[in-house]
Structure 1
Amino acid sequence: MDKGEPLLCPLLQKMTVHGLNNNTKANLVVVGVHGLVSLLGILENALIIWVVGFRLSRRTVTSVWVLNLALTDFLATLTLPLFTAYLHSSHSWELGDPLCKVQASIFFFNMFVSAFLLAAISLDRLLLAVKPAWSRNDRSVAGAWKVSALGWLWGAINTAPYFVFRSVVEKMDGRKLCYYNFALYLPSNGTLQRDCDVRHGTMAISKMLLAFLIPLMIITGSHIKTALSLKARDRRRKQSAIFLPDEQITLSTNEPSKRKFSTASTKTNNMLLGSISTKPRKNSLHPSSSLRPNGQDMLSQSFKKLVTAAVLVFVLCWAPYHIFCMIELTAQHNEETLKLVETWLPLAATLAFLNPVLNPILYTFSCPKLFVRIKQSLGAVFDGLVEERGGFPMSPSGTIRDRMKRRSSRDVTATTPGSPKFSSSLRQSSHS
């Protein structure tokens, strides 16, 4: 190798010689689909961030988890157009070395942070099931933000090597490859093969352990422990219900009469108060903080389904990528294995890119309250855009939604005790 040429690892040297798929029609289809998916992912995550970050009435622990997942997914989807440009340029990276480093770093940053947050959410569910009293007293939004910040720091530390060793290398056919160059920062090529193998193996194994296997073990163990804890609690509750003392049985038989009396008093109060109404609390991603007697429902069923679906999608999207990364470790010693990796590893990486695109869909369909909030937020935006008064666009305070709120508030004020309309309505009802 000439002194003017950069030092390359043996595996990268072989990759610069091999060609890629030159089917123009197939590439155009891939570029078109990838471009649409990129745009969809950016819009989806931006909408989730807007709704969860700015439109919720109150911040909860669950909303902090969802917001941080959406933020890291949004960063990942912002780099998808760069990969689309790479595909459009006949699999040649024409955007320069800095963007090559940035695109790869954000890809792996999303991988580490998402795995960390999913493991943290699973442990949070475990604590809710095993220690409901502690969770009710010490589980806080501030604590969720601290754990999320730790996840972002964890992702940044583990992403640093990928930023350092990512580089643009020109191939024999003139195209440019944005890939690892583990021969960077080596003083000489005397130990090139050994150093490249050590660096490549260390990074491949570490990212598979830290960003996939260990988080997956934590997630799986937390789900199993949570299920066993809830089943044991249900069993104890059923056993205690069978062996109730006579005093509790006597009290329980008197409960229906007490319930009837309380219902009758409630109806009487409603007759006196008439149409008085209170402003309902806005929906939130997090269910009510009150516990059922068994203390197992601090998280809603919809959020449990969301966690399960997010974990499954994470595994399906990232497992093929890590498998082919491990196969790549032996690719330089086998020509057929190298061709297999060059063909399927980019496809596995594309599948991994789908993870931040699919997550917002899971949030929307797994959390009905979030879906309602999105529709309300979009409705408020379009009300302000299309509603007009006197030929001019209305101000934000003049939308249909705001007029309905003002009308309902006038109705509430008119029927408040002490108001003239309330007094007259009472007199009319007494005369009748």
Structure 2
Amino acid sequence: TDWQTIHTVIPPYIFILSLLGLLLNGFVLAVFAAHRDRLTVAEIYLSNLALADFLLLCGLPFWAMYILNQFNWSYGDALCKLVNSNIVINFYTSIYTLVMISIDRYLALVKTMMARWLRRTLYAKITCFVVWMFGLLLSLPTLVHRKVKFIEEYNTTSCILDYTHGSSWKLAHQIMMNTLGFALPVLVIVFSSWNIIKALSRRTENLAFHDFNDTKATVLVYAVTLLFLLCWGPFQVLTFLDTLCDVEVLDGKLWSHTLSLGDQVSVYLAFLNSLLNPLLYVFSGQYFRRKLDAVCRRARHQRRGSDMTTYQRSLVSTFVNRTEQIRPVVIFNAKDQIGL
């Protein structure tokens, strides 16, 4: 009954999640691309976050069809590796982009002197590139071990992580997921947030240094961080419990059914983060709204300019045609007439 619920509920949920997430993140990227002004450091990180979420959601419809087909993978071994590696790359890219946003807030509000030379657009672009390379590196275990394999027990041809040739690879992969994909980023974000809170509390003592915009932006960072913890936390906890079963701290047979179902539910709950990020982070931010207003005003101005140009051309053409019909009239000077 539990697996029938999975087959019934999860595929439409994934399709809806993917469609809405692609539209929202695509809209965010379009606004950043349409704005002609140079992006700020914060906007570079926001656009990088939207790109990572967009690419992650591109691979989810394959998994929806995979579940609809009773966990039979019909897209070949290459797509099995590519789709899952894409998800892992963008998972790491998304979390470490959130880390960089948190550090950027920390520099702007706490280390203001350092921020003058550290918060540069060139550095932000280099950091984003390094984050993508880091995500690619951490996805290599998935790229190597993901493969299409026939499972006799369930009579399915599934896309699975195959660790049969070495169980230590599974343990290493799960420890890496818990530490590099969750514990370390969360520690950095908590450290940055705690220092930001202290800096803001000191500033509020002197109203001359109180900036409502900084407070609002910082609260927004906390909200996104909390959202990440709520979405990815259950998956990370279940991954840790699976690791405890592998090292025989917990009874694997006792936890097998719970972990199998929990993994299916928690991983698709985690992907909800990619849909909610643009809603919470970007659309509620005043700077993005200003950028969106600027893009809309420029579009309206261009349409009006185009319409006005057409009107002016018509007016000039009418004026020229009428002036050609006017006969020239010679007016003599009065002084010439009287010989002065």
| Range of TM-score over shorter length | 0.7 to 0.9
Report the counterpart of residue 307 of structure 1 in structure 2.
221
User: Aligned with 1:329: secondary structure?
Assistant: helix
Aligned pair 1:100/2:80, yes or no?
yes
Where 1:366 maps in the other structure, the secondary structure is: coil
Structure 2 gaps, min length 5: 312-340
Unaligned runs of 5+ in 1: 1-18, 187-194, 239-292, 384-395, 408-432
The 1-side partners of 2:91 and 2:158 are apart by 22
Match status 1:44 vs 2:24: yes
SS of equivalent to 2:218: helix
Q: Which residue of 1 aligns with 2:262?
A: 344
Percentage of matched positions with identical amino acids: 26
Please give the residue correspondences for 1:227-266 in structure 2 after superposition, counting only pairs within 5 Å.
Answer: 227-235=197-205, 237=206
Q: Deviations over 1:302-338 (max 9, x none)?
A: 4323322221111111111111112223446532311
Contact 2:59–2:83 (CA under 8 A) maintained in structure 1:
yes
More off after superposition, 119-128 vs 64-73: 119-128
CA-CA distance at 1:104 after TM superposition: 1.4
1:21 partnered with 2:8: no
Matches within 5 A, 1:262-277: none
Shift in CA distance, 199/379, structure 1 to aligned 2, threshold 3 Å: same
User: Which residue of structure 2 lines up, in the alignment, with residue 213 of structure 1?
Assistant: 183
Instruction: Map 1:145-224 to 2 at 5 A.
Output: 145-172=125-152, 173-183=154-164, 186=165, 195-196=166-167, 198-224=168-194
CA-atom RMSD in angstroms: 3.0
C-alpha separation in 2, matches of 1:231 and 1:300:
12
Letter in 1 for 2:195: K
How far off is 1:376 after superposition? 6.6
1:153 maps to a residue whose letter is M
C-alpha contact (below 8 Å) 1:380/1:401 kept by paired residues = no
Bigger shift: 354-363 or 211-220? 354-363
CA distance in 2, matches of 1:337, 1:369: 47
Judging changes above 3 Å, is the alpha-carbon distance between structure 1 residues 230 and 159 closer, same or farther for their aligned structure 2 residues? same
Change (3 A) 1:137 1:341: closer
- Partner residue in 1 for 2:323: none
Please give the alpha-carbon distance, in whole angstroms, between the structure 2 residues aligned to 1:223 and 1:402: 49
Displacement of 1:400 in angstroms is 4.2
The answer on 1:324 being equivalent to 2:225 is no
State TM-score, norm by structure 2: 0.80
CA offset digits 1:1-51 (Å, max 9, x no partner): xxxxxxxxxxxxxxxxxx98246xx73443223212111111111111111
Aligned to 1:244: none
Cα distance in 2 for partners of 1:100, 1:355 equals 23
Q: Residues 368 and 298 of structure 1: is their aligned pair in 2 closer, same or farther, counting only changes over 3 Å?
A: closer
Check whether the contact 2:42–2:104 (CA below 8 A) recurs between aligned residues: no
Q: Could you say what secondary structure the match of 1:119 adopts?
A: helix
Q: How many residues align?
A: 306
* Structure with the bigger percentage of helix: 2
Amino acid in the other structure paired with 1:158: L
**What secondary structure sits across from 1:102 in the alignment?**
helix
What SS does the corresponding residue of 1:59 show, helix, strand or coil? coil
TM-aligned CA deviation for residue 133 of structure 1: 2.9
TM-score, normalised relative to structure 1: 0.64
8 Å contact from structure 2 (residues 46, 282) kept in 1: no
Matched, 1:117 2:97: yes
**Equivalents in 2 of 1:372, 1:128: separation in Å?**
20
